[in-house]
Structure 1
Amino acid sequence: MWSDSKLIWRKWLFLALVASVSASYYSQPNIVFIMADDMGWNDVGYHGSDQIPTPNIDALAMQSVILQQYYSEAICTPARSALLTGKYPMRLGMQGFPLYNSEDRGIPLSERLLPSYLKALGYSTHLVGKWHVGMSRPEFLPTARGYDDHYGMRGGFVDYYTYNKVETWPNGRLMHGLDLFDNDIPQVNEDRYAVDLLTERAINIIHSRNTSCPMFLHVTHTAPHAGNTGGPLQPPLYRPVGHRHIAHSDRRLYAELVAALDHSVGRIVEALYEAQILHNTIIVFMSDNGAPTVGDLNNWGVNLPFRGRKETPWEGAVRVPAFIWHAGFKPRICDSLMHITDWLPTLIRAAGGSITHEIDGINQWDSLVLGSELKRKEVLIAIEDGGNNVYGAYRAGDYKIILGNVTGMRNDYYGEDFMINKEPPPPYFPVLTSSYVAAVFQRMGIYFDPVQVQATRDAAMIRQKDKERDATLCLPTATRGCLFNVRQDPMESHDLWDRANNIAKLLERRLRMLWGMQMRRGPLALGEGADPANFGYTWEPWIYNGTDISPQQTTTPSSQSNKQQQKAAVNARTKTKADNCDCGDNFRNFVCLFRCIF
């Protein structure tokens, strides 16, 4: 009897929550998706560290579903490709090394992206921040792939003050230019701090939105990614450098970047409350991949206790901070497996739609609403087929296998010295409750209890349960991999390949099967025509209708020829945007086409 009653209660709760967020067109939830860039597991307070206060992120996480077993991709471009398509990047040729600004590659135009699905469901769609999945051709740009507008960067990273990207080719060739746009317009007169200008645009969109339709606001910060090599760590200059308790100077500067990001999250939540739409908004926060603690473009972020750094197959590259908030959710720590590809079908379901074709992502919405175990049982973590390292990584249940060549990569543990404090950090709970988000929650009648807050932090900490550690860390080869029980051994320090060889062989067969499905990336295609010097030192598309249109000499795009090229670009974008209007509802389809034209 009790079991039947409990089942009936759970079904009632599920129906009530679904009705509150996605029962009809007029009650579709707004969706705000905030993505940090190169933030490590140990760089948020809710995972247990006191070193870098993140009170706004933490306050939001405390009232969210914290995704403890969440996997992203190991690198920027693959992560964004997986998010936007719901497919493993290796199916699209988007795996591996991130895109150069001067590279002629992007998410294949045959792929329909998340904003296009949401637009067909009646959403306004806005991208604020980093794109990094194709910029060589106008048809690769965000406004040709389903976004109504884009304010931000098209490539991988920029200087936080000049918004310039300095790019170095493998042969030493240098290119540099402005990479900050308001749709097609280069922002040559902008002078605000990069985190602030993105935050203020997001807030402006919230307050000036079309109130007759739901909103998808995708905020993709470049923080705390390092800037150009001449100034990798660039905190705000309008306030003194804080975090005096941190002993390592570079880690202290990194903490300032994280603080700016945290401040942004707080201001966005406050704006949603002031606009009176917070109660019907889904908020997702995540990092695109782990931190590059050391090595190329390192930012002094820390992934401990995980092994490795960004651009490796280890947990430190792919296990990232992530949570989802909605006023109807009961706060909890979810210890089920989830992958970045799951967001597309999950958010489409939350918006009232569905995905009918085959993708790798799994709709987790019903499980998130019910508070039940998520549906995913396996995840392809990485396939790398370029350069000197060829490897694959795959997890099924509690077990993870890595196979291939990782020689010369960052395969150890990094950042322990960066975690040293020379004096006590600020007390956690008072900082948490003084945040923007905590103030908003108080106005909503939500208050924090210090005992419960500490209990949540304790539960969200990663603990090593397997106490046996190999004398020498396992490094895989093409014929003998490494096998770990990552639930018991999240540090990947105890190889089980010989002890559990039956499991290893089973996972190896599945990994090799997936490996055989990949679309190979092909050779690196860098274009001299991309040189920003050809376009007034601005990163612009240089291939129109399959033809490199860059001038032979340094010019500004003011000639009649360039005007014709720009017109062709607009026509190409309009056609692609119109192709994205694929809604069965005739009126919504008409509105979508109307927006594309005007």
Structure 2
Amino acid sequence: MPLRSIQSAIYTTTMNHSLLFTRFTVSLILCFIASAAVAAVAADKPNILIVFTDDQGYADLACYGNEANKTPRLDQLAAEGTRFTSFYSQTVCGPSRSALLTGRQPLRSKGWGMPASEITFAELIRNAGYQTACIGKWDVSNRKAILDRMPNAQGFDYYFGTLGANDGGRVRFHENNEPAGATDDMGSLTTLYTDKAIEYLNEKRDPEKPFVLYLAHTMMHTIIDASDRFRGKSAGGLYGDVVEEFDHETGRLLDVVDDLGLSENTLVIYTSDNGPWNQPKYTDRKKGHPEGSIFWGQSGPLRNGKGSCYEGGYRLPCIVRWPGKVPAGRVSDALFATIDFMPTFAHLAGFDVPRDRRIDGIDQTDLLLGKRDTGREHFYFNNAGVRQGDWKYLKPDAYFHGYAIEADRKKVDELYNLKSDLGEQTNLAAEHPEKVAELKALMRQIEGNDPPGTSPIQIK
């Protein structure tokens, strides 16, 4: 071959390899930039871990005043974050969950009968790039396997748990949409759900994406029980055993969050669905409960408990931790509620709340981050009344579930100043008729059918 031809071939080969190398290098750089961009976006969006217990009273934890139950891990969580003392959920299970998922009052989101047309925060946050998982008690598909109302159809990539409660002392599990066995060992559930949550974090989570993990425990609902490790160990009877096991298992989950290096960018929310069953009318005719089981929790200074529109039914413990973002060691009496999670997550995760329906929740980001001391201006008690500031109004025919009805309650307008009378003992309605009229009007406004996308009062 002539020398010129050999030189030409060498040049061509060299240029082709050079071009291939350049293209490969550019591709690597672009992949790196894309990965870095994804990581940067993920870093701006916190992981969200919701630990949602069942029927746990306002005063069941040591950090909320309980002197019998030892709850060191939740007390530690409170020291590391903010403990809210005027946090409201709902008064019973299904309505509480539909309110949390949709940001809408149960008169709109329908509680146990939440229709498939409701839009959950999981559906919206998944579209914003999050992984979503639900473990535990679902309770918004009428406790039935109705596919378009089960977690996978309502925005959750992964689900393990029971569709209803444990009132009969037995639960049936689903994993995603498939049946996954059953158990009558109620003392195993707290550990089982925690194990499933840890398994999700270790094995099912995509580390390149932020996640939402909604862990909804069955305990402390009705047929309570603890495992052998905790049964008989507390000073609070079987209920105290369950509280202390729940505290331990929550701590175990938080340790895994720490071990995986997720704590700094994880918003942890602990709260409950409603107040405790603590009414003799219910407990006197209990059936199927473990021997010696006094399964009620503590409302502390609050009146009544689950099923009631007095404070003991709606006001729950709530602790929020996000290191470096949510102030540590703070106690806040600002009004805050589960219906506020949807708009708050929208702000933090970068999605829009639905505009085709009324959203009752408000964005509480500034309250959580310590940029504002005030919270909601009002809170509505389902088919019962309303609180605005320190004043709370209940209508004469305020709805109580049967076991929560107080035999000596007179069916009259009730008005309480919660700042001076947290236990709702002194009815001030006759002394402040103008306040009664004002709160009645607010209650009717909330119950009305406002245009889609509106809320009675929004805090920016």
Normalised TM-score (structure 1): 0.62
Question: Cα gap change, 1:185/1:108 in structure 2, threshold over 3 Å: closer, same or farther?
Answer: closer
For residues 76-126 of structure 1, give each alpha carbon's deviation from its aligned partner in whole angstroms, at most 9, with x where no partner exists. 1111011100011102333xxxx4xxxxxx312222101111101111100
Q: Say whether residues 1:313 and 2:309 are aligned partners.
A: yes
Q: Say whether residues 1:152 and 2:84 are aligned partners.
A: no
Distance 1:366 1:511 in 2: 26
Question: Cα gap change, 1:23/1:315 in structure 2, threshold over 3 Å: closer, same or farther?
Answer: farther
Kept in 1: contact 2:136–2:218 (CA 8 A): yes
Question: Cα gap change, 1:239/1:59 in structure 2, threshold over 3 Å: closer, same or farther?
Answer: closer
Distance 1:274 1:186 in 2: 32
Distance 1:71 1:367 in 2: 15
2:388 maps to 396
Note the residue ranges of structure 1 that are not aligned, 5 or more in a row: 1-21, 100-105, 166-178, 228-232, 247-251, 384-391, 413-471, 519-598
For residues 197-224 of structure 1, give each alpha carbon's deviation from its aligned partner in whole angstroms, at most 9, with x where no partner exists. 1000101111121111011110000111
Kept in 2: contact 1:45–1:53 (CA 8 A): yes
Say which SS state the counterpart of residue 321 (structure 1) adopts. strand
Distance 1:267 1:285 in 2: 14
Distance 1:512 1:111 in 2: 23
What letter corresponds to residue 429 of structure 2 in structure 1? W
Question: Equivalent residues in 2 for 1:43-192 (5 A)?
Answer: 43-94=60-111, 99=112, 106-134=113-141, 135-157=144-166, 164-165=170-171, 179-188=172-181
Question: Cα gap change, 1:43/1:207 in structure 2, threshold over 3 Å: closer, same or farther?
Answer: same
Kept in 1: contact 2:230–2:241 (CA 8 A): no
Distance 1:305 1:26 in 2: 41
2:216 maps to 220
Question: Cα gap change, 1:239/1:410 in structure 2, threshold over 3 Å: closer, same or farther?
Answer: closer
What letter corresponds to residue 319 of structure 2 in structure 1? F
C-alpha RMSD over aligned residues: 2.3
What letter corresponds to residue 283 of structure 1 in structure 2? V
Distance 1:238 1:497 in 2: 51
What letter corresponds to residue 391 of structure 2 in structure 1? Y
What letter corresponds to residue 33 of structure 1 in structure 2? I
2:413 maps to 481
Note the residue ranges of structure 2 that are not aligned, 5 or more in a row: 1-38, 287-294, 451-460
Distance 2:437 2:132 in 1: 45
Q: Say whether residues 1:330 and 2:315 are aligned partners.
A: no
Match of 1:235 among 223, 226, 230: 226
Say which SS state the counterpart of residue 259 (structure 1) adopts. helix
Say which SS state the counterpart of residue 73 (structure 2) adopts. helix
Kept in 2: contact 1:115–1:125 (CA 8 A): yes
Q: Say whether residues 1:42 and 2:35 are aligned partners.
A: no
* CA displacement at 1:343 relative to structure 2: 0.7
What letter corresponds to residue 397 of structure 1 in structure 2? G
For residues 45-86 of structure 1, give each alpha carbon's deviation from its aligned partner in whole angstroms, at most 9, with x where no partner exists. 001222111111111011111111111110111110111000
Match of 1:259 among 240, 244, 247: 244
1:410 maps to 404
What letter corresponds to residue 381 of structure 2 in structure 1? I
Say which SS state the counterpart of residue 404 (structure 1) adopts. coil
Kept in 2: contact 1:284–1:324 (CA 8 A): yes
Question: Cα gap change, 1:158/1:276 in structure 2, threshold over 3 Å: closer, same or farther?
Answer: farther
* CA displacement at 1:182 relative to structure 2: 1.5
What letter corresponds to residue 273 of structure 1 in structure 2? D
* CA displacement at 1:340 relative to structure 2: 1.4
Question: Cα gap change, 1:335/1:259 in structure 2, threshold over 3 Å: closer, same or farther?
Answer: same
Q: Say whether residues 1:199 and 2:230 are aligned partners.
A: no
Match of 1:509 among 417, 421, 441: 441
